[in-house]
Amino acid sequence: MKKNITILIAAVLAATSCLNEENRSYATAETYYRNLVQIESGLNACYDPMRSIIGAGFFQMTECATDVMYLSSTTRSDANCVISPTKPGVGSAVWKQSYLAIMRANSVIASIHRSVEAGYVTEEEVQPSLAEAVVMRAFYYYYLTSTFGDVPYYTWEVTEDNRAETTRLPRRSAEEIRDLLTDELMDWLMPEDKGGRAVLPLTRSYSNGYRAGAAVGLMLAGKFCMWNGRWDDALAVYGVIEDIYGHYADAPEAFGSAYPLTDIPFKKKFTPESIWEVSNHIEDYGVQTWMTLACYCTPFRSDEDVEPDDDDESSAPEKVSDIYNGIVIPELGKYARTYAAARPTKYYYNQLMTYNGDDLRAGEYNKVDDPASPRGGSGNLAWRWKGYAKTDLDKENLKVLWFSTTGGKASGRPWLGNKFWCEDMIYNHDDNNYKVFRYAGALLNMAEAYFWLGDFDSCCKYLNIIRTRAGISKLSSSDFSGSDDLLEAVREECARELYGEFQRKFDLVRWGIWYERTCEYNNSAYIMDYIQPCHRYYPIPSDQVEYSDGALDNKEYTGQ
């Protein structure tokens, strides 16, 4: 890991070096960060690794290797738990990119303090930048502890003097790390009347720019509290988010008006309900960033020789088509690249998202009473879609058709819905934004926290905010014969609402039921050949164990 640390230090300095050509040759962490513009450029480098983590492999780990989704392909190791220390899958990216970002955040924090001591900036004016760095550091520790459990923890700047010490840090209890980060985030972000300093504005994430602000940090603190069973603190933290995003427990009907379901699909960017999104964008002749998630979430596209739509008779046919599993879907375009697709499990679409059910999240065209009109939901699934058949001569009047694999039956397996599709995608260039945290997730965590505190009425009130927007019946504590049934209702609502938003495996592991539920409900043809209880957490990549000179280990994977 010594070589690795050296490389990462160089990356930190390179990423935060001065943008002016004449300064690039000698700018370092010691000579940079002398004004707020330079500090912000250093913070920008803390965001970059997130895109290297979030994506297809992370989605397969957090969603496909669960009870609600699967991906039956021999080449998708993360979806089928083909994981070991020497084959860590997406765990390698989570580990390396998270620690790269943490080292960058630590470097920024240390450099800001040096600049304050030297008089380049004042303590007061850099407080928001310090708080932002604290939030970003916590974000990556959230991914590390959720993915690996116990991990090395440090908050100091890596230098030549402490490099060896940092390299040989052992695992530290994930519970301890979460407690430390919760207390730190609450100190920086909670209002003064609740024991904090409220350094960052208590506003919705995308009302004042696109940076990780107070709402993101409070969401992380709440997540840490949920893991550690700090239910009162969870409610306190989420209560501040509730102050920011609005109180709806006593008026659940208003929640859908403020935050419509139609804003949930990934193509809707920086929506008011969003607490954090990982963004992509493609501009003609401009900056282009994309990931490939939509390729795994779209119905299979048929490649066919199609004559070009122009008057040039010499033009050759192209291998293009806008036929997706038997339906011509114009809005998806002719050039999208589709891979072996993630699909919903039978448990998910039979029990939670039943065809022709009332839940608006189930699918846009799944109701038989008015199949020609979209329902205005979040588009979790798609049994059929509006388009036309290949042989249909009437290409102007679109109609709702069944996808081929359903065979015209409601009992057929649906595809993932338009929540995940990227319209007019060219090849594998998915430019959607990936929803990571939404206000709905905070409300569901509040419902769960109330459950563990024994306040079942409040638990149901917060579940009903989510259920009312989805068009399904409200719940009352009297509806349940026992607490286990209510807890299962919470878990099911999380599955319905947060489908595909990189949370399901983390929740199942936190509840202590990941292995059993995945074995019972996952429909992959391959996962049962590989899945083991130890897979609830990923192994530390073997090269990182080697770099640590034996300070790190994977005892759970080796049976020690």
pLDDT at 28 (0 to 100)? 60
**Comparing 15 with 90, which gets the higher pLDDT?**
90
CB neighbour class for 335 (10 Å; exposed up to 12, middle 13-18, buried from 19)? middle
CA–CA distances in Å: residue 19 to residues 1, 22, 60, 462, 501: 30, 9, 37, 48, 35
How much is the pLDDT for 202? 97
Which burial class, exposed, middle or buried, applies to 408 when counting CB atoms under 10 A from its CB (0-12, 13-18, 19+)? exposed
List 427's β-bridge partners, or say none.
336
For residues 338 and 301, what is the distance between their CA atoms, to the nearest angstrom?
A: 6
Quote the CA–CA distance of 215 and 379 in Å, as a whole number: 26
Q: What is the 3-state secondary structure (H, E, C) of 441-484?
A: HHHHHHHHHHHHCCCHHHHHHHHHHHHHHCCCCCCCHHHCCCHH
DSSP symbols for 171-223: -B-HHHHHHHHHHHHHHHHS-GGGTS---S--S-TTTS-SS--HHHHHHHHHH
Query: Residue 466 in contact with residue 444, Cβ under 8 Å?
Result: yes
Tracing tokens 């908050």 back to the chain, one arrives at 155
> 532: burial class by Cβ within 10 Å (0-12, 13-18, 19+)?
exposed
List Cα–Cα distances, 477 to 128, 386, 471, in angstroms: 43, 40, 19
**Which one has a higher pLDDT value, 431 or 17?**
431
Burial class (CB in 10 A: 0-12, 13-18, 19+), 508: buried
Grouping H, G, I as helix, E, B as strand and the rest as coil, residue 388 is strand
The angle at the Cα of 405, spanning 399 to 411, to the nearest 5 degrees, equals: 90
Average pLDDT estimate for 503-531: 98
Tell me which of 65 and 3 has the higher pLDDT.
Answer: 65
Least confident of 229-233, 365-369, 454-458: 365-369
Percent of the chain exceeding pLDDT 70 equals 90
| H or E segment and range at residue 82 | none
CA pair distance 121, 327, nearest whole angstrom = 60
Distance, CA of 501 to CA of 133 (rounded, Å):
24
Confidence of residue 369 (pLDDT cuts 50, 70, 90): confident
Mean pLDDT of 290-309: 82
Q: What is the mean pLDDT of residues 1-25?
A: 35
Q: DSSP state, 156? A: S
Least reliable range by pLDDT among 57-66, 102-111, 330-339, 393-402: 393-402
Task: State residue 3's pLDDT score.
Answer: 38
Closest to 332 measured CA to CA, from 324, 320, 340: 324
- The pLDDT value given to residue 310: 53
Mean pLDDT taken over the chain: 90
Q: Provide the 8-state DSSP code for 54.
A: S
Confidence of residue 16 (pLDDT cuts 50, 70, 90): very low
Alpha-carbon gap, residue 91 to 76, rounded angstroms: 13
Report the pLDDT averaged over residues 173-185: 98
CA–CA separation, 91 and 72 (whole Å)? 20
**Residue 408: what pLDDT?**
46
Instruction: Note the pLDDT of residue 19.
Output: 27
- pLDDT tens digits, 41-67: 999 999 999 999 998 899 999 999 999
Specify the length of the chain in residues.
560
Antiparallel, parallel or unpaired: β 305-306 and 318-319: antiparallel
Residue-level pLDDT at 405: 60
Q: What DSSP designation does 84 have?
A: B
Whether the CB-CB separation of 41 and 324 falls below 8 Å is answered with no
Please state, in angstroms and as integers, the Cα–Cα distance from residue 232 to each residue in 126, 201, 355, 509, following that order: 31, 23, 38, 21
Q: What global pTM score does this model have?
A: 0.91
Asked if the model's pLDDT at residue 344 lies above 70, the reply is yes
Task: List CB contacts of 89: < 8 A, sequence separation 6 or more.
Answer: 57, 61, 77, 78, 82, 83, 538
Q: What mean pLDDT do residues 217-230 have?
A: 98
SS3 510: helix
pLDDT top residue among 7 and 79: 79
In sequence order, the 6+-apart residues with CB closer than 8 A to the CB of 389 are 326, 327, 328, 401
Please provide residue 37's backbone torsions phi and psi, each rounded to the nearest 5 degrees. Answer: -65, -45
pLDDT attached to residue 34? 87
Q: What pLDDT is stored for residue 248 in this prediction?
A: 98
Terminal Cα-to-Cα distance of the chain (whole angstroms): 23
Average pLDDT over residues 403-412: 59
Mean pLDDT, rounded, for 126-150: 98
Cα separations (Å) of 173 from 88, 105, 319, 505, 507? 21, 21, 54, 20, 19
Strands (DSSP E) contained in 46-100 are 69-70
Q: Helix 504-511 crosses helix 483-497 at what angle (to 10 degrees)?
A: 160
With 60 as the cut, is the pLDDT of residue 314 above it? no
Q: How confident is the model at residue 307 (pLDDT cuts 50, 70, 90)?
A: low
